[in-house]
């Protein structure tokens, strides 16, 4: 009898050990509310900055502003002197330019000459998004002032020096030269 009890006990143990594995449930479950709240905060920030920028533009009757397709505004301080020149920088072209930065009310952040003349290979090097897109609109010899909302400028982090968090900026850019990318020889 002991033998049958022992076999029955082993048989029950084997059957109970062959249970299929169950998926473990997470300790905490996220509802996605943080992401939704973040999206809403960013929408409000963009709307507030755009309203502030449009108010500045409305007060400035001396300049004719243009809205770019990339989400910033600009006006020409000096247009290209040669009307037949329609060349704007393209991918890989090297541009040489100077720029200065103020807040949108005109308070100087980086004065003219404080930032050294920059050589930049279009879309191949690091440059904040708004300026990268703005350079593509310029011709050699032009001076253009751009107004960038913070998400087109330095965003949440700023430049970790003089430009703070979520600060819309005004950037005056002088494009000195455009050098076409050299094609490799076969």
Asked if 150 contacts 72 with a C-beta cutoff of 8 angstroms, the reply is no
pLDDT digit string, tens, across residues 163-186: 989 999 999 999 999 998 765 555
What pLDDT, on the 0 to 100 scale, is given for residue 19?
61
pLDDT digit string, tens, across residues 68-111: 999 999 999 999 887 777 889 999 999 999 999 999 999 999 99
Domain boundaries, the chain: 39-179
pLDDT digit string, tens, across residues 112-129: 999 999 999 999 889 999
CATH of 39-179, one of 3.40.190.10, 3.20.20.10, 3.40.640.10, 3.10.50.40: 3.10.50.40
d(CA 35, CA 39): 6
> Hey, is 170 helix, strand or coil?
strand
Model-level pTM? 0.78
- Any idea what DSSP says for residue 21? P
Report which secondary-structure segment, H or E, holds 75.
Answer: strand 73-78
């Amino acid at each position: 009898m002991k033998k049958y009890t022992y076999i029955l006990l082993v048989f029950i143990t084997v059957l109970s050990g062959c249970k299929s594995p169950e998926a473990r449930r997470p300790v905490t479950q996220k509802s996605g509310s943080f992401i939704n709240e973040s999206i809403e905060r960013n929408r409000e920030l963009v709307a507030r900055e755009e309203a502030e920028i449009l108010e500045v533009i409305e007060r400035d009757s001396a300049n004719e502003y243009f809205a770019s397709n990339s989400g910033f505004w600009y006006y020409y301080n000096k247009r290209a002197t040669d009307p037949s020149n329609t060349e704007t920088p393209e991918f890989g072209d090297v541009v040489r330019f100077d720029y200065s930065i103020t807040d949108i009310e005109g308070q100087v952040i980086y004065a003219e000459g404080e930032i050294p003349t920059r050589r930049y290979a279009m879309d191949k090097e690091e440059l904040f998004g708004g300026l990268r897109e703005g350079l593509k609109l310029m011709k050699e010899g032009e001076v253009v002032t751009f107004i960038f909302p913070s998400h087109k400028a330095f965003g949440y982090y700023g430049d970790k020096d003089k430009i703070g968090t979520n600060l819309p900026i005004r950037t005056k850019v002088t494009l000195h030269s455009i050098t076409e990318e050299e094609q490799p020889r076969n």
